[in-house]
Each structure stands twice: as C-alpha cells, then as structure tokens.
Structure 1
Amino acid sequence: MANILTKVRDGLASLTSGLGTERDKAASVYYAEPEIDEQQLVNAYRGSWLPRKIVDIPALDSCRNWRDWQAKAKQIELLEAEEKRLGVKAKVLEARKKARLFGGAAIYFDVGDDDPAKPLNLEAVKKGGIRFLTVLTTRQLTPGDIEQDPLSEFYGKPKDYQINSTTLGMVRIHPTRLVIFVGNEHPDNDIASGLKHGWGDSVLVSVMEAVKQADATSANIASLVFEAKIDVITAEGFADAVKDPVQEQAIRNRYRLAATMKGNNGMLLLDAKESYEQKNGEFSTLPDIMDRFFQNVSGAADIPMTRLFGQSPGGLNATGESDMRNYHDRIQSAQELEMQPAMTRLDEALIRSALGTRDPSVFYVWAPLEQMSEKQKADILKIKADAGRAIAGTGGASPSLMPIEALSDALVNSLVEDGSLPGLEAAIDKYGGLADQDDDDDDLIAVAAPAQEERQQATDAAPRTLYVRRDVVNKSDIIRWAKSQGFTDIVPDLHVTIAYSRAPVDWFKVGNSWSEKLDIAAGGPRQMERLGDDGRYFALLITANELVWRHREIVEAGASWNWPDYQPHISIQIGGDVDLAKIEPYRGRIVLGPEVFEEVRED
C-alpha cells in the first residue's frame, strides 16, 4: 500500500481506466528526433499541392512587391537597372524557396577578385563590379567548421563553406560572399545532434504530419463518394448456397443479370423470398471534418486559410481580413528580421556596383503587401489636404502654424512617398515647387480676378444654389489641338465643372480648395466621349484625384449632384458632326485656375 501511495500522490490515477498509469494512452506520447530525407521532401513537393504551397507561398509573398529604394531619381534608376541585370529578385525568390524546402540555401555573388576564401572587401567593389549571382543548395554547398570564438561575428556559424568545382576542384568560400537563408533554424547546433551541419530544417518537417492527415482524410472522403448509394439484396439460404461452387456461379449469373436489367431498363426482378433496399451515405458532416483538418494544416504552416486554400473562414461576417493582416505583418517581420540582415553585404555591394560609390543617404524599405484601392488613396489625399489647409490657416485670426513653403515641401514629400499623386515628383522637378512659382503669371491673374470678385460677393452664409468650376489657364494649347482634330465650334470658356447643386448649400461650409492652381501633368488616361442626354457635348475625359475628392467634399457639405457618378472633363464642342473614332485625345499639360463659385443658372 505504501508503494501505491508513492506512485499516485503527485497526480490523478485510476486503476479502472488506466489514467495516470503506464497503460494510459497519453503516456505513449514521445517526441523523436524529426528527420525527413531529401528525396521524400522532393517527392512531397512535386507530388502534393499542399506541401508545394506551404513552401512557395511565404517565399513568393516576401518577394512579390519587392522593395522601394529611397534615393535621388537617377540613383534609383541605376539601382533598379543593376537589380534587373543581376536578376536579384528572381535569385532571392529561388533561394527562399529552396531554403524552405531543403532547410537552407545560399546566393553566391561574384565580384571578380582572385580568392573567394578571403573576406569580401566592399570598398574594392567598383561600378559594375558584381559579375553574377548563383543560387546554391545544401547538397552543393558544404559548411565548414563552426566558429567557436565568441568575439567573432560568425560565432556559432560556419567559418567557411566548400563547393566542388569541375575546373578548380574543392573551392572554399568565405561567408561574407554569401547570402545565407535557412528554413527553420535549429534551436542549438550543439543539442540538435544528427541534423544537417550548419543549416536548418525544412519547413515541411514540422507540418508534414498535419499535411499527411489532411491528404489521407481527403482521399478517404473521395473513396466514400463511390459508396454514396449501395444496393442491398437479401436472399434466403444465401450463405449455404455459396458453399457449392456450382450454386455460387449460378448466384453470380443471377445477380449479374439483375444488375444489367436494372441498369438498362430501371427494372429489377426478384424472387418472392428476396428483398431489396438502397442505403445512401451521409455526407453532411464531412465538409466540417475536412475543414478541421485544413485548419490544422493552416495553423501548422502559419498561413491563413484564405491564402493557403483560397477560401474565407466560416461564420457571420467572416472575411479573413484580420488573418491576412496578421499574415502580412509576419511576412514583413521576416523581411526585416531575416531577409534584410542576410542580404546586407549583397546590398552594400549592389549599391557600389550600381553607383560606383556608397552614398550614405541611399537605403530601401520593403513595399507593403496590402495595396490601397483608388478610393482609399483619394480618401487619404483628401485627409492630408484638409490637414494642410488647417495648418496653413486662413490669415487674420487664423495664421499659419508654419511657413507655407515648409508645409508645401512636407506635403509633397508625403504624397510622393505614399503614391497618392503618381508623377508628382517628376512634375515638381519639371515645374518647380511653391518657392519656384512665378507670382506674376499673367494668365493666372486674369483667371483669378473674376474668382476673387465672385468670392467677395458671397459674403453671407445664406444657402444658395452652387456651381463650382475651374477655368483652363492654358486653353490656347487645347484650342490648337482641337482645331488640328477637326473641331470648328470650340467652346470659348474651357473649364472643368466640380459641383452643380440645384439644392441650396452654405458656400462657407463648402470652403476653399487647397490649391489656387491645379497643374495636371501630360500623359495619363485621356479619352473623348459624347456626354449629355442627347450626346451633344463632345468632352475630353481627364483624371485628377484632387478634382474627385474636392467634388466629394462639396457633396458631403450638402450639395446635390444629379448624375450617377462624377467624371472630370472639359467640354470641347457642343453640337456638330464629329467622328470621335478619328480623334486622338489631347495628352498635353492642363493648367486649371482657382475655383469659381456661382449660383446655378438653368439657362
């Protein structure tokens, strides 16, 4: 009895069920050293779609949008050209895939010096110095001895690597000339004995059991489909009859004929002592069972079901967006914590190979995986513009919080970085910033004068109908184009309508636009179309985010808009006979003056 008390005093045990004893099923759980040979990894990758996606998806997503260089425009062109010449993006993707599959892979970058066994001298890399990149796997690249000096930057890692060359024999490569990627890192090379020396585990090692269970369950469910409907016939004396070979053959012939008649004629003839029934398989719960196994695989692979299986999770209003955000955050963490440190020396050599020298102001950021929609971009642009107006103030009792030039430069930098206005940086380089503007622009003054007059007339806040437009400043350019295309009765007051509200609105609530002049750069989508109920208006359709969000801002302030949507355009001609199929849209620069406020005139 004393021995029994000693055994059970530290846990719950039952002599009846075996709980807590050596007969307990849970007592058999044992974690052996995980090991999958390379051939099985290759077979799984080639023969099953789940292992392939588990390997490929995170590698692909980490390289999909790549990175954005932060430098001068000319430097960015050179850096991107060098990346394209060397195929950096494709090589990194290949290495990431192979590292995840085999547990490790490396990119060797050759700079043309004599001895790859020596540490890389970055300062010796000149323009065009990187000759090529080569991806090597664990089978081709053998790690050397592990560095045991704690004062070395390579402590705990191989001192060098060896590769067999068909021309030079065994070649040693210093780790500074390699970009090393691993799959799943070993917790400790000293403890993890018997594993690949100097590398990691394949990512499939820890998920293979879940994958096999899902594959097996899917295969079993597929087999059940063939048993969805089973015919069951009972016959008296059947068990005794099959003992005689002659009667057994007779029974076979009998029911083969019955099956043929049922298949051809839908008719089944039975003896009075025989009975027939159909049993249908029950499949209603199988999708839930399969989903549980898929969720198990998704959790093991750390890839959302939305991405791995292409299906959204179940449940009310479930979209998987939060799962995808978490997954994208994880990919970004891998880019910053795994890929970027591994690629540091390659990137430093790449900058020197592209530019010829190392500009300390050059760096890069990883491009976000989640891309904003056009509506989201327009909303952000509107918010930034509103904030800029608030900071700029209105003069008098609301002075600017900072110099307008400084605010302008900061907003331009922000809009360039987030891509709200494509081509803005090139346009600023071409036309100059706020400090470069000519305050004596005669065209702008001519257009602005009546606008100022209109604003002064609107001194009260009584709601009134509202028509807002921007007149074209460089209309001579557009008129010249219109005449060359065959237009003969060109509208004299070329303009873009922003608002047309028959409903009264408080003009002061609408407020002013952020910019007195809107400069739309050449290029971009342009199109000629007929507008109006009768198609009498020949209009040039243009794109300008500022016009779109300004229109939306006025509508939100209470203005009406009697059309399904808003499309910025310039009416070129009203009426006439013009074949738009032969018209080449105007693609040059468009300069719009300040907003003009008027009451709606129905005529």
Structure 2
Amino acid sequence: MLLDTLTNVVAGLFSAKDKLAHDRFGLFSQDRGQLDAAYRGDWIARKVIDVPPFDMTREWRRWHAAPPQIAAIEAEEARLGLQAKVARALRLARLYGGAALVLGAGDADPSQPLPPIGLGALRYLHVMHRWEISPGEIERDVLSPLFGEPAWYQVASAGQSGGGQSGAGQRRAGQSVRLHPSRVIRLLGAELPDWAAQGADGWGDSVLQAVMDAIRQAGLATQGVAALIHEAKLDVIRIPSLAQSLSSQDYAAKLVDRFTLANTMKGLVNALVIDKEEEWDRKQLSFAQLPEIMQQYLQVAAGAADIPATRLLGQAPAGLNATGEGDIRNYYDRIAAEQRVVLGPALRRLDEALILSALGERPAEIHFDWAPLWQLGAVERAAVAKTKAETTAVYASAGLIPPEVLGRAVRNQVVEDGLYPGIEAAYAEFDAQSVEEAEMEVRASTT
C-alpha cells in the first residue's frame, strides 16, 4: 500500500500501530425521512436549507430594456409567481438533492419539445422535487446539446388534462406523463462527482448530507448544556447509618416523606430543618467553559454550511470594533457568484420563454443583472450620489462626452439608482409633454 503522508516507524506515526492510519471515510446516505425530520425539527438544519435560497432571490434581478418592455416582463414574472417559485425550487433542491421547474404551454403532447412561445403562451410554472418528477436515462451522446442531462422526465399525473381533447391531449387520472427536457428547468443540490460511477438517478445529494454530523454535534452540545441546568445546584445530606436503615422498607418511605416536607419548608420559610447529627452541603456546577464549547460547535456548523455565523445564527460579531461586515460581504460575493455561474445559466431556458410570453418577440438587447445583496445606508447612498454628480460635472465641463449622450447616461443612472422616488414616471410624463409641445409648435408653424 502506498502512503502519501508523513511516516515515522520509530514514533509509530502512520504505521500499523497508529490509530489514525486505519481511519476511513464512510458514506451514510440520508433517506427522505431523516431529511424531513431534520428540516422540520432542527432549527440549524432548516436555516442551512432556507438561508442561501432566500438571499439568492430576495433582491431578485433588474432587467435592461425599454421601460414598457421591462414593465411587461415584470408583469409576466408576477403572473407566474416566478420569484417565489424559484426560491422554493432552490430550497427543495438543497433539501432533497434536486428539484425542477416545469414549463407549461398548454399544448397537447408534453413529450414533444416546447413549441414556439407566443404572447401570453406560457400558461403555468410548477415546482416539483426529486420524488415528484423522475428523470429518465442520462443522455451520453457527446454530440447532443442535452449531453449529461436526462433525455426525458416522468411525472405521475393525479388528474385529467387537455381540456377535453382526444388522443395525446387527454389523460386518465393516475396515468404518468412524460415530459420533454425542454420543458424542465433542473436544479441540483450538492452535485455528485460522477453520476455514472455512483449509479445516481440524475439528481445530486442533499446539502445536509455533508453537514449532518456538524448539525448533530451542535445540537448535542446545546442540549447537553441545557440538561446540565437541572444539575446546576445539588443538595447533599449525610445521614448516620443510612445504608443500614434503608434495609427497612418502612424507613425508606418515611425518609422520602421527610425530605419532601423539608423541601416544602425550605420553600416557605427559606430554611432547611435537619437532625443535629446530620450534615448538609451544596454542590454548585460551574458553567464557565460551557458557553465557549457550545459556541465552538455552532461555529463548526456554520463553517460546514458555508454561511457566516452572523447570518446563520443571528449573533453579533465578537471582538473589539468587530462589525462582521467582511464576513457578510464575502458571503454575499459567494452568493452573487453562484447566481451568475449556477442559477443564471439554469434559468436561461425559462427566461427565453418568459420574454417571448411577455413581449411576443425576443429583442437581442434585452438582458438582466442580479440586484446587489449589499444595500447601502442613506448616508452612504447620498455620498455615492454626490460623487457621481461631481464626476458628471467634470465630464460636462471638460466636454469629453457630448451633452446629449451624457444627459441620457445620467438619466439612466438616476433611474437605476432609485435615489429619487417616482423619477422614472416623471421622466415619462416629461417626455410625453415635450412631444406634445413639439407637435403643437409644428402645427402652429404650418398654419
């Protein structure tokens, strides 16, 4: 056996008698019952699942297009409940290892590719977790655009669909429905290293799979400390010849009655009455180190979940002049990267259908940016606006940018910054009034 580590035969370091040399990782898969129990019964597990999807979707995104186009796209998102459904799909994907958004165009045969989407043709958007929708065989043709993805999906339908149509459009209750992959937006939890080698069903692992040990240990630490509270104070009474006297059953019963009465008297008169030959002592448990131990286990759980403790646990940053801003900014940067690298590409198929359904066409220039998660305070926003205004004044005085172009850029900047409420509507009203005045001048000049 080849050992790629430091060994020392004399010291027994990583030799046959070193206990660490026999450590092996074991995989104990969490079944659905355990995942449901952890999510519903443990607050740390629930926050590990809920926090990143909430942060990933809470500020949502900003479309770049003409104002009427943006209004139409956002109205379509609201009609479909897109933001809430994406957040739910992300939660289910993290909890169960996979989830899907199913697109519906109201056509007869869902096993066929999604038809061209026209104005208002996107009928519905359903969220399903991995045990509601089953992927088919994985496409292994490297020339196929679906390489690495399921070639089809299967869903058990509990009712009839098709609006009374015949043939493929009409399905009996309980019959399964096959979906073309163009209708399914697949979201994974924790990706597997090799689906083929693992014999996976096309989904990933639950995020809790790798975090469960840390969550259990944190729960054990907090519950252990809570259990010790009952033992924080213990009265000790020494009674002469107690062991010999307990041989009598009548004495044991009288002893219990006696100290029950003694405890009652202690609560009433704040005094413990005992025999002259008896001795009383009190043992007090020290909690000095327990908060640090409990905190360390919670920190380990936060690290395992890759969520800062200030966000996961809601605790104040520790240390002199500590604000936790660096941790939160790093976390937000990771969330923003996941939005760009993972979520955005996964939703691309949905976004194309969304734009077509909202506008009836797909202008090439329409795109979106994810809204920043870090929100500036009122003072910071005012300082940034002042800096931008000063920069604009420099460009204007130097004449480096044509006034018309600069004015249009400043207008877009002010609208997107949202510093002045209702300014976009005010601009639209101003434009309409300007057009009307120009038309009146033209009519006046012609007459």
Taking CA–CA contacts closer than 8 Å with sequence separation of 6 or more, which of the two structures ends up with the larger relative contact order?
A: 2
The answer to whether structure 1 residue 64 and structure 2 residue 63 are counterparts is no
Q: Paired residue for 1:154, among 146, 150, 155?
A: 146
Query: What is the CA–CA distance in structure 1 between the aligned matches of 2:22 and 2:285, rounded to whole Å?
Result: 35
Residues 323 and 10 of structure 1, relative CA distance in 2, 3 Å threshold: closer
Letter aligned with residue 341 of structure 1: P
TM-aligned CA deviation for residue 279 of structure 1: 1.4
Does the C-alpha gap of structure 1 residues 407 and 189 become closer, same or farther in structure 2, counting only changes over 3 Å? same
Question: Which string of whole-angstrom CA distances, capped at 9 and with x for unpartnered residues, describes residues 62-110 of structure 1?
Answer: 1111111111111111111111111111211111111111110101111
Q: In the alignment, which of 116, 119, 140 is matched to residue 127 of structure 1?
A: 119
- Output one character per residue of 1:385-417: Cα deviation in whole Å (capped at 9) or x when no partner: 111222222xxxxx5333333322222222222
Report the CA distance between 1:20 and its aligned residue.
3.4
Shift of residue 372, structure 1, vs aligned partner: 1.9
Q: Deviations over 1:231-285 (max 9, x none)?
A: 1112232233323434333433333333232222222233333211111111122
Matched, 1:183 2:189: yes
1:269 pairs with one of 253, 266, 273: 273
Report Cα offsets for 1:24-45 as digits up to 9, x if no partner. Answer: 4434532112301101111111
Q: Which amino acid aligns with 1:176?
A: S
Letter of the 1:12 counterpart = N
Contact 1:14 1:20 in 2 (8 A): no
SS at match of 2:36: helix
Give the aligned residue type for 2:146: F
Are 1:84 and 2:83 matched, yes or no? no
TM-score, normalised on structure 1? 0.66
Sort the Cα spacing of 1:75 and 1:183 in 2 relative to 1 into closer, same or farther, 3 A: same
Distance 1:379 1:310 in 2: 29
Partner of 2:41: 47
2:422 alignment counterpart: 423
Deviation (angstroms), 1:325: 0.7
Segment drifting more, 109-118 vs 208-217:
109-118
How far is the alpha carbon of 1:10 from its aligned partner? 6.6
Match of 1:590 in 2: none
Q: Which amino acid aligns with 1:271?
A: D
Amino acid at match of 1:125: I
Q: Partner of 1:142: helix, strand, or coil?
A: strand
Q: 2:7 aligns with which of 7, 11, 22?
A: 11
Please tell me whether the aligned partners of residues 415 and 421 of structure 1 are also in contact (alpha carbons under 8 angstroms): yes
CA contact under 8 A between 2:154 and 2:178: conserved in structure 1? yes
2:334 is matched with 330
State the secondary structure of the residue aligned to 1:327: helix
Partner Cα separation in structure 2 for residue 14 and residue 312 of structure 1: 49
Measured after TM superposition, the shift of residue 21 of structure 1 is: 4.5
Q: What is the deviation of 1:23?
A: 4.9
Partner residue of 1:470?
Answer: none
Q: Which moved more, 1:177-186 or 1:384-393?
A: 384-393
C-alpha displacement of 1:183: 0.7
What's 2:324 paired with? Answer: 320
2:130 to 138, 141, 147: 138
Aligned to 2:156: 164
Match of 2:311 among 307, 310, 313: 307
The structure number with the bigger radius of gyration is 1
Q: In 2, distance between residues paired with 1:250 and 1:112?
A: 81
Native 8 Å contact 1:54 1:308 kept in 2: yes
Counterpart residue type for residue 425 of structure 1:
E
Output the CA distance in 2 between the equivalents of 1:349 and 1:131.
Answer: 11
In 1: Cα distance, 2:182 partner to 2:209 partner: 29
Name the CA distance, whole Å, in 2 between partners of 1:139 and 1:414: 46
Give the TM-score of the pair, scaled to structure 2. Answer: 0.88
- 2:44–2:215 CA contact under 8 A, matched in 1: yes
- Other-structure match for 1:368: 372
Q: 1:103 touches 1:203 (CA, 8 Å); kept in 2? A: yes
Supply the AA of the counterpart residue of 2:178: R
> What amino acid is the match of 1:184?
A
For residue 163 of structure 1, report the CA deviation from its aligned partner.
Answer: 1.3
Q: 1:288: Cα distance to partner?
A: 1.1
Structure 1 CA distance for aligned equivalents of residues 104 and 18 of structure 2: 59
Q: Tell me which residue corresponds to 2:221.
A: 217
User: Aligned to 1:377, which of 377, 381, 399?
Assistant: 381
| Cα pair distance change 1:29/1:120, threshold 3 Å | same
SS at match of 1:383: helix
Native 8 Å contact 2:55 2:335 kept in 1: yes
Higher helix share: 2
Q: Pick one of 100, 105, 108 that aligns with 1:106.
A: 100
SS at match of 1:232: strand
Which one-letter code corresponds to 2:385 in the other structure? Answer: L
Shift of 1:172: 1.5
Unaligned stretches of 5+ residues in structure 1: 1-5, 394-398, 439-603
Q: RMSD of the TM alignment (CA)?
A: 2.4
Matches of 2:408 and 2:7 in 1, distance apart? 70
| Distance in 2 separating the partners of 1:413 and 1:254 | 84
- For 1:95 and 1:112, the matched residues in 2 are separated by 22
Q: How many residues align?
A: 419
Contact 1:104 1:200 in 2 (8 A): yes
Contact 1:107/1:133 (<8 A) preserved: yes
1:460 corresponding residue in structure 2: none
Q: Which amino acid aligns with 1:45?
A: Y
Q: Partner of 1:135: helix, strand, or coil?
A: strand
User: What residue in structure 2 maps to residue 239 of structure 1?
Assistant: 243
Structure 2 residue ranges without an equivalent (≥5): 161-170, 438-447
2:442: which partner in 1? none
- 197-206 or 169-178, which deviates more: 169-178
Q: Which has the higher strand share?
A: 1
Q: Distance in 2 between matches of 1:326 and 1:134?
A: 33
CA contact (8 A) 1:105 1:182 kept: yes
Distance in 1, Cα, partners of 2:334 & 2:245: 68
Contact in 2 for aligned 1:14/1:21 (Cα 8 Å): no
Note if contact 1:181-1:342 (Cα within 8 Å) is conserved in structure 2: yes
Superposed displacement of residue 60, structure 1: 1.1
How far off is 1:46 after superposition?
A: 1.0
* Residues in 2 aligned to 1:31 and 1:192: alpha-carbon distance in whole angstroms: 16
Change (3 A) 1:401 1:112: same
Contact 1:147 1:155 in 2 (8 A): yes
How far apart, CA to CA, are the structure 1 residues paired with 2:152 and 2:413? 45
